[in-house]
A and B are shown apart, each in its own frame.
Chain A
């Protein structure tokens, strides 16, 4: 591993790379390719397994890295013999709703923390940041009780209301950074012209903060789509499950694995986040680093 790092370092520094093309193959292309292959192989492997008919999938004599007789049977099985479409819909509804709530509340709180001077701002800012670092696994048992008390067990609301606990802090922190980067003078001139503060926020600040809002939204949507433990604990019946939990818990029955449809379900369930991400990769990276680095 450290050998890798050293190799990389040698060719580091774009402007002063004197290394020959041959050397570059070893110091740059080989390690990069190794990273890419290891990173992407599991996804390729899912795709291959999802397209193989069972007689090919469970045959140790055929060359395994290729599909010789592709079939969509495993995908068909998902939609005819399981509640896959229902899980997909549940996940979509929950992700959109919790993202919308978190964005709205995050915009309000982020603006307040970035711009307004009020009693308790410092403490509330730290509290929101700290709650970003509270893992779901610390709270799921008492949370199970809270959900039961509120009569939300086994409903989509259980997740729509609890996902914002990790989305709001993130959205707030990210948007606070964005709001701070917008010059105050723009709002102030509007206020001087007689606009109300809320109107100045909606008409001047929000349009300028759009890139930040978009990246917070994408990130929040991805996080809700990927959430697992709350969905596992709060949802008990099969038709209410989210996609990740449904695939993991319903397609594996005891010791019987339906590998083809399991891989098909996993791959298909990854497509929405992968698509959104590929369209907005720049915003995503900006959000990721803003969230991680600026907090």
Chain B
């Protein structure tokens, strides 16, 4: 990003300073000292638990029982389990559908917000709310909206004469999955919109005017000017969102707890139910670890893309 004009500082401090001061002045040592607190926290609470998680997945531990080594048995048992297969499929379907919608709607919203209009700042503040507010709490509003007796969508449709009986938004497997997906889109679209808006604002108006003079239609301007220029932002935002969505937990936990009859579980909620609620730590840890290959591929994609963009 920024080119380094000067490399280091060629100033030696007087020799009278003590050894500690010396360590704090030299870049090689000061750098490591400043990094140490962050690195220690991340080592203890990310690297170590990760290794421990792998260990757990290879033994048959339960809460209060250390367990013995069983190799890949937990993963094999997962793969042969119908609920797990359904969960794995759900996780991919959930991630794919919500990402497409969040991307398209977020793009649309960003284009709207990129225009000049009154109360723009107020609108932007309001539109970002679903992203700010604790998901567990805002999802409760949706739980009430989807309620089987007092749900407002059913009330409106019933009073408009469009349906006879309330829609079981969370009581039917397909509808429940659809409801969970809808709430995730509602929650995630603002993040796409605001990030893409920041990207749009860096595009010079001159480019659009030049394209318009050359006779480009609005759609052509979008495809040939806007899209290529915001591609870096769009790619990173999408990759980030895929990672978060794939690992989602609270939305499903609050809306359905994985039900009805385990039809809306994601890997994280199933891992919680098996590992924590049922106390099967090893099986739960193995379910969580199924996320890992997919996560690792995405993280590599993010790193690779950022390197390429920065021309490193």
Contacts and interface: CB of A to CB of B under 8 A. Distances in A.
Interface of A: 1-2, 4-6, 8-17, 28, 31-32, 35-36, 38-40, 42-43, 45-46, 49, 57-58, 60, 64, 104-106, 108-109, 111-113, 116-121, 124, 126-131, 133-146, 161-162, 164-165, 168-169, 172, 177, 180-181, 184-185, 188, 191-192, 194, 196-198, 222, 225-226, 228-229, 232-233, 243-245, 247-248, 259, 262-263, 265-267, 269-270, 273-274, 277-278, 281, 284-285, 288-289, 292-293, 295
A55 B42 CA distance: 52
B28 A119 contact: yes
B180 to A, nearest CB: 15
Contacts of B189: 39
A31 B115 CA distance: 13
Interface of B: 1-2, 4-9, 11, 13, 21, 24-25, 27-32, 34-35, 37-39, 41-42, 44-46, 48-50, 52-53, 55-56, 101, 104-105, 107-109, 111-112, 114-117, 121, 123-130, 132-138, 140-142, 144-145, 147, 150, 152, 155, 186, 189-191, 194-195, 198-199, 205, 208-209, 212, 218-219, 221-222, 226, 232-233, 236-237, 240, 243-244, 246-250, 253-254, 267-268, 271-272, 275-276, 281, 284-285, 288-289, 291-292, 295, 298-299, 302-303, 306
Contacts of A32: 112, 117, 123
A184 B37 CA distance: 24
A58 B150 contact: yes
A180 B198 contact: no
B39 A8 contact: no
Contacts, number: 358
A28 B24 contact: no
A9 to B, nearest CB: 5
A272 B224 CA distance: 43
Contacts of A2: 104
A141 B127 contact: no
A117 B29 CA distance: 9
Nearest to A40: B126
Contact of B30 (A8, A109, A118, A248): A118
A229 B25 contact: no
Contacts of A116: 27, 30-31, 34
A222 B130 CA distance: 12
Contacts of A31: 108, 112
A172 B34 CA distance: 11
B201 to A, nearest CB: 10
Contact of A233 (B39, B222, B237, B276): B276
A8 B108 contact: yes
B268 A281 contact: no
Given A5-B108, A278-B125, A229 B250 contact: yes
Given A117-B8, A135-B291, A168 B276 contact: no
Contacts of B4: 184
| Max chain B C-beta neighbours (<10 A), residue from A64, A135, A273 | A135
Contact of A191 (B9, B42, B52, B128): B9
Given A16-B208, A245-B136, A293-B199, A112 B34 contact: yes
B49 A244 contact: no
B39, B212, B275, B295, most chain A CB atoms within 10 A? B39
A108 B132 CA distance: 27
Contacts of B285: 141-142
A124 B35 contact: yes
B205 A15 contact: yes
Nearest to B54: A142
B25 A40 contact: no
The secondary structure that dominates the B interface is helix
Given A135-B246, A232-B272, 14 more contacts: A1-B104, A5-B108, A9-B222, A12-B114, A116-B30, A118-B28, A121-B31, A133-B298, A137-B268, A141-B284, A146-B52, A228-B135, A293-B199, A293-B236
B21 A188 contact: no
A6 B13 CA distance: 63
A120 B276 CA distance: 38
A188 B130 contact: no
Looking at B31, B186, B240, B246, the one whose CB has the most chain A CB atoms below 10 A away is B31
B112 A35 contact: yes
Ranked 8 nearest A-B pairs via Cβ: A118-B31, A135-B247, A137-B268, A142-B52, A42-B141, A116-B31, A112-B34, A142-B53
Contact of B7 (A40, A117, A181, A191): A117
B134 A161 contact: no
Contacts of B55: 142
B271 A141 contact: yes
A39 B249 contact: no
B42 A169 contact: yes
A220 to B, nearest CB: 13
Given A42-B142, A117-B31, A144 B114 contact: no
B196 to A, nearest CB: 9
Contacts of B306: 295
A12 B218 contact: yes
A129 B108 CA distance: 30
Given A42-B145, A135-B244, A145-B52, A295 B134 contact: no
Contacts of A13: 205, 208-209, 212, 218, 221
Contacts of A9: 111, 218-219, 221-222
Contacts of B140: 46, 247-248, 262-263, 266
